[in-house]
Amino acid sequence: MMPVYKDSSCSPEQRADDLLARMTLEEKIGQMIQISCSVASESEAEEWAAHRFAGSFLYAFGDTAKHLQELALSTRLGIPILFGIDAIHGHALNTGATVFPSQLSMSCSWNPELVQKAGRVTAKEVASEGLHWTFSPVLCLGRDLRWGRINETFGEDQYLAGILGAAIIKGYQGEHLADPDSILACAKHYIAYGESLGGRDSYDTSASMRKVREVFLPPFAEAVKAGCATMMASYQSVDGTPVSASEKLLKDLLKDELGFKGFVVTDWENVRNLVVRQGVAADMKEAAAKALNAGNDMIMNTPEFYYAAIELVKAGVVKESIIDQAVRRILFIKFALGLFDGKCRPQNNKHNTLACSEHLDINMKLTRESIVLLENRNNILPLKSNIKKIAVIGPNADDIQAQFGDWTYFSHPDLNPSAVPKIETWTVLRGIKELSSKYKAEVVYHKGCDIMDPEDQDIEGAARLASSADAVIAVIGDCLAQNGEYKDRADLDLSGSQQKLLEALKACGKPLIVVLVNGKPLSIPWAAKYSDALIEAFNSGMFGGKAVAEIIFGETNPSGRLSISFPYHSGQLPVYYNQLPGWHGAKYMDMPSEPLYSFGYGLSYTSFEYSNLKLSKNICNTDDTVAVNTDVRNTGSIDGMETVQLYVRDLASSVVTPVKQLKGFKKVEIKAGETVTIEIPLDIRELFIVNEAEEYVVEPGEFEIMVGPDSRDSVLHKTRLVVE
């Protein structure tokens, strides 16, 4: 008789329970181990697959993955391996795959539909190689810009991060996990990781549980609602307790309260770090016990956990039922994913899938909508027909590694700066050159200076070239060495000799168009004041240069809006829009009160006018959904896209609440001269606060409802809503 766990007509729950009952302790704990092939030798990896029953491998590609899978399938129970990869913005560890803009860049599209499509493309390309699991999306918030991993976030706001995170999760996981081209999503880093003190990666987050619930939990709650299959426990501690040792965060809050049904994987070496870095355990046995009791299910890259856990159970220190709970979750996901029903092996269709035309079209659309126009003085853009010679200058004008950013084959699993893309890519220089021929303009190029080395410069040569042109496009920003883990920055000013380069180019007296290629907002008040046009591209992926060129020449009307605020100065931080009131003076005495560029901000080649803000009801109760309506008119001469943003403020509450919070948005295309009525639903339950008792409540009283093109008070139309 066929075992239940091999019967595909049975439910994943039934199959998991049946298989679990057949497993030895060693087989169970083996399923909890993830081995990294970037660390383990070939023979060690084989040993883990064939004799220690490792449940997952990281960075196992091609023939290596096939071989390890066959070893696992030939064991007594034949439990397939789950292969994971960091497909963070596309399947970008493969030199022939589609590379999307970074999360920060794509979030500036404010387009959940395109973000979901990006997830779907990534899933298809990852699945085509027999891989099953991406460690994405990052649902941390980019609130301290000194943090090295700002580029991986969806920006500074929990509402926007939750919407976009849920969208890309749905893209990764598709209609059904068992579909051939669906992969597991992994929401990370749970929780409050980006809020570490001073923007220091993996340091302590000194936040109350009330703040954790109110600010950092909402995106993860949206991930749970979206059916996210896995969650990653973050490196850092929260108020002194490492997340991977916190039963309150992993078991009580995530699993019990939110109802998360998938499994929790630790981040890299989290359990080992309880001993060697954070010092909350004296040895691996104590660390393993803490990790097990806290609710971790899979242990990333701490192989010694395997032996310690076996000893703990045999000695009666840890109950085997705790092991069973973790393994049942892992097996359930493996069955739901279809690994036991043939999906464990590659599809052998990657040559028809990787970077196919359909995928590239989606990428191009998302990239276009992710570029943000920050300045356009005297409507210098689009470039006019009298521009016959263009000087493209700057260290990032022709640097595809800077444009790609972190988490591509240039940086992971090991640094590989000599990697060569197998697909076409467009730097800004290439994009300008290709489009300039259409407008019969000559293009000349000079690097000008290096980003990291102030001595590596030829500013005089760059200025001479600029003087011979009709317009100058300066492409500046930061580089891969300034972004990612271990790359926290104290100074957000332009590095190297970039500021000197800009000043020399401005002195040439020619129109100066500045393009930013960077992994995070930089402090650029001079560029903001003196450039004739300023474009933010962030890490825009393989098509970034093409999309920027289309905007410069007017082939595309820019529609990107910032998902993150820009500071005047590093010392002005934090500058996120949804701060708490009460600060005496509401500013540093030597800095403006507002950020350099605000959350939600971005320009278009047309203009929009808001009017007639109305609510479907002005008095409501907590069970209502109120329709917020506004008219938006395109008052310019060309069609354009506008992102209508809805903010609220609780005017009086039992705890201090932010000056405004995003609670809805809608991106719409409006034709020249057209007026459209935009309706955004506001679920009154979204007006919750977390009170001192950590309870979610909507308190009665007045709320200010604000609608406009961005988060600045000066552009928002306002009305009042009373909740009874």
pLDDT digits (tens, 9 = 90+) for 684-710: 999 999 999 999 999 999 999 999 999
CB within 8 Å of 201: residues ≥ 6 apart: 147, 148, 149, 235, 485, 486, 487, 488
Q: What are phi and psi of 625, to 5 degrees?
A: -120, 125
Report the pLDDT value the prediction gives residue 270, as an integer from 0 to 100.
97
Give the position of tokens 């960077």: 518
Burial class (CB in 10 A: 0-12, 13-18, 19+), 377: middle
- Rounded percentage of the chain residues whose pLDDT exceeds 70: 99
Report the pLDDT value the prediction gives residue 350, as an integer from 0 to 100.
63
512 SS3 class: strand
* pTM of the shown model: 0.97
Token pair, residue 265, equals 């994987």
Report the pLDDT value the prediction gives residue 701, as an integer from 0 to 100.
96
Gap between the Cα atoms of 113 and 595, Å rounded: 29
Report the pLDDT value the prediction gives residue 629, as an integer from 0 to 100.
98
**Residues 587-631: tens digit of each pLDDT:** 999 999 999 999 999 999 999 999 999 999 999 999 999 999 999
**Contacts for 313-319: CB closer than 8 Å, 24+ residues apart:** 313/25, 313/29, 314/25, 317/285, 317/289, 318/288, 318/289, 318/292, 318/293
Active site residue 267: yes
Which residue type sits at 144?
D
**Residues 311-352: tens digit of each pLDDT:** 999 999 999 999 999 999 999 999 999 999 988 877 666 668
- Average pLDDT over the chain, rounded to an integer: 97
| pLDDT band at 259; cut points 50, 70, 90 | very high
Q: Is the pLDDT of residue 140 over 70?
A: yes
Let me know how long the chain is.
724
Report the pLDDT value the prediction gives residue 343, as an integer from 0 to 100.
87
Q: Around 209, how many Cα atoms within 13 Å sit in the side-chain half-sphere?
A: 13
Give the position of tokens 């040439």: 508
- Please state the rounded mean pLDDT for residues 401-430: 95
Report the pLDDT value the prediction gives residue 578, as an integer from 0 to 100.
98
Gap between the Cα atoms of 534 and 552, Å rounded: 10
> CA-CA distances (angstroms) from residue 665 to 137, 407, 647?
21, 29, 9
Report the pLDDT value the prediction gives residue 351, as an integer from 0 to 100.
67
Domains and CATH numbers, the chain: 84-350 (3.20.20.300), 354-563 (3.40.50.1700), 608-723 (2.60.40.10)
Report the pLDDT value the prediction gives residue 349, as an integer from 0 to 100.
64
> CA-CA distances (angstroms) from residue 546 to 433, 520, 643?
10, 21, 23
CB within 8 Å of 714: residues ≥ 6 apart: none
Give the position of tokens 């109120």: 626
Which of these is catalytic: 144, 157, 204, 267?
Answer: 267
Paired residues of 675 in beta bridges: 633
**Residues 548-567: tens digit of each pLDDT:** 999 999 999 999 999 999 99
Q: Is the pLDDT of residue 515 over 80?
A: yes
- Please say whether the beta carbons of 498 and 514 come within 8 A: no
- Please say whether the beta carbons of 479 and 399 come within 8 A: yes
Report the alpha-carbon angle 95-101-102, nearest 5.
100
Report the pLDDT value the prediction gives residue 168, as an integer from 0 to 100.
98
**Residues 475-508: tens digit of each pLDDT:** 999 999 999 999 999 999 999 999 999 999 999 9
**Contacts for 277-281: CB closer than 8 Å, 24+ residues apart:** 278/237, 278/242, 280/241, 280/242, 280/245, 281/245
Report the pLDDT value the prediction gives residue 348, as an integer from 0 to 100.
63
Gap between the Cα atoms of 105 and 99, Å rounded: 12
> CA-CA distances (angstroms) from residue 515 to 389, 405, 438, 663?
18, 15, 21, 31
Burial class (CB in 10 A: 0-12, 13-18, 19+), 442: middle
CB within 8 Å of 34: residues ≥ 6 apart: 54, 55, 56, 57, 58, 84, 265, 298, 299, 300, 301
Gap between the Cα atoms of 329 and 382, Å rounded: 55
CB within 8 Å of 566: residues ≥ 6 apart: 521, 522, 523, 524, 575, 595, 596, 597
Report the pLDDT value the prediction gives residue 344, as an integer from 0 to 100.
81
